[in-house]
Structure 1
């Protein structure tokens, strides 16, 4: 009798696993937005290049670890899109932290550094482009984040390939718009929970 009851309740337990945790998306979006904003401020020339190391701590702790955790929680909730996105961009910021903090110690010829960083950014642009296709089924707000991020990666990649300050500044401005879109989407998620009703439209797909 005890075994039968355990077997009958097991499927229900599996079905509800992960539903008790909070939505990790606002955290992941906020971490991405804030780190992107600070880096974009450097790229756009709003602050001197000498302060770029300020980004490293954010890339490690917030953009990296916080997003990676958000991705793991999305796996728990069964959200393949959110898990793939947050885990990947968390890993992006962790790799960015390592790359930029240690690049000078690799002994790469000065003329080849831009090519290496360019292909790195282009690869992330390709990944973001196909995630943008998937984002069309999530919401208009999320789609805006991914579309803007795709363009940002491509422009910054071209900037590094061509050593173009103008394209770097353009990439900074595009990154700023991406950060604003991500912050908006995060804010919409947080306030929807705390106010128990949507305060901002996100254009969610049915």
Structure 2
């Protein structure tokens, strides 16, 4: 799932958004596609990444640093989303907090904190699914319903 749905599919979606002039979506999809590809690579036993660490605490700390890095990247997307829509603000806000909580769970080897991060991740996924469904319906001429994203009006200079 991480390699193909999370990684490859998002990477391709990002590449398809750039020619359409949708830089935000292109950068976001490409970035998170790369995240999932790299995260899966770290976790796969045959890559030897996990085996390179002497103990589980050291590996967990390394994953914590990795997740903090993605927390920062996501926060930058959150800043960029502040002028897009309420839905994108919610998405990148929840995703930022998700990465932060998961990182804390890894740093402290706190299973309950990691579970809380997982719950936040599920909430984030539902927000992303809502946005995706909204975009799919908006692209259809005969869509029965439209789902609002809370888009901010563009400023006219």
The TM-score with structure 1 as length reference comes to 0.69
Matches within 5 A, 1:20-59: 58-59=1-2
Partner residue in 1 for 2:95: 149
Q: CA deviation at 1:73?
A: 1.0
Length, aligned pairs only? 149
The alignment yields a C-alpha RMSD, in angstroms, of 1.4
Q: Distance in 1 between matches of 2:86 and 2:42?
A: 33
Deviations 1:124-172 (Å, cap 9, x if unpaired)?
0001011101011111111111000000000000000000011011001
1:77 equivalenced with 2:20 (yes/no): yes
Q: Distance in 1 between matches of 2:92 and 2:81?
A: 7
Secondary structure of the residue aligned to 1:114 is helix
Q: CA deviation at 1:191?
A: 1.4
Partner residue in 1 for 2:151: 204
Tell me which of 123, 132, 136 is aligned to 1:177. Answer: 123
1:165 equivalenced with 2:108 (yes/no): no
Higher relative contact order (CA 8 A, sep 6+): 1
Partner residue in 2 for 1:64: 7
1:120 equivalenced with 2:63 (yes/no): no
The TM-score with structure 2 as length reference comes to 0.89
CA contact (8 A) 2:86 2:150 kept: yes
Q: Distance in 2 between matches of 1:127 and 1:104?
A: 24
Moved over 6 A (4+): none
Q: CA deviation at 1:67?
A: 0.4
Rg comparison, structure with higher value: 1
Q: Distance in 2 between matches of 1:106 and 1:100?
A: 12
CA contact (8 A) 2:87 2:150 kept: yes
**Structure 1 regions of 5+ residues with no counterpart?**
1-57
More helix by share: 1
**Structure 2 regions of 5+ residues with no counterpart?**
none
Q: Distance in 1 between matches of 2:141 and 2:90?
A: 24
